[in-house]
Amino acid sequence: MNNFIEIKQSPIHGMGAFATKAFKKGETVVVWDTSRVLSQEEFAVLPQDQKPYVANLGGKLVLMHSPEKFINHSCAPNIAPAQKGKDIALRDIEAGEEILADYLEHKGNETARACKCNSADCKKFIVAA
């Protein structure tokens, strides 16, 4: 499944995940590797540069791998939050389009920061859920 995602420079932030094929609304876009679950103690001692790559999935702290760790935030996401280890298209996604999620929906360990998504509905900031 993740064969249809390419990691490259993002106009939003750093590196991003981009579709290499079109996805239809409701289709699975990304299958997460949820093999690395962290305890609160492991999260606490995780290097600071790795903490942004931890997602709260159903109450479990999961250290993200590629490509999910390169999915950037948008206040106008095109995928639904990971459920059962999958991100689902909220609408049709074209080949070449950046895959975008609303971090407020599936991250729970980040600190407040400015939002740079530039969507028409941008909230201007992202805060911990």
**How do residues 24-65 score in pLDDT, each as one tens digit?**
999 999 998 889 999 999 999 999 989 888 888 878 898 999
pLDDT over threshold 70, residue 110: no
Contacts for 46 with CB less than 8 Å, ≥ 6 apart: 38, 54, 63
Please state the domain count of the chain.
Answer: 1
Written as six digits, the tokens of 109 are 């360990």
Cα separations in angstroms, 5 against 40, 71, 86, 87, 118 = 31, 10, 14, 12, 22
Structural domain of residue 45, as residue ranges? 2-126
Amino acid, single-letter form, for residue 19:
A
pLDDT digits (tens, 9 = 90+) for 4-15: 999 999 998 889
CATH number at residue 65: 2.170.270.10
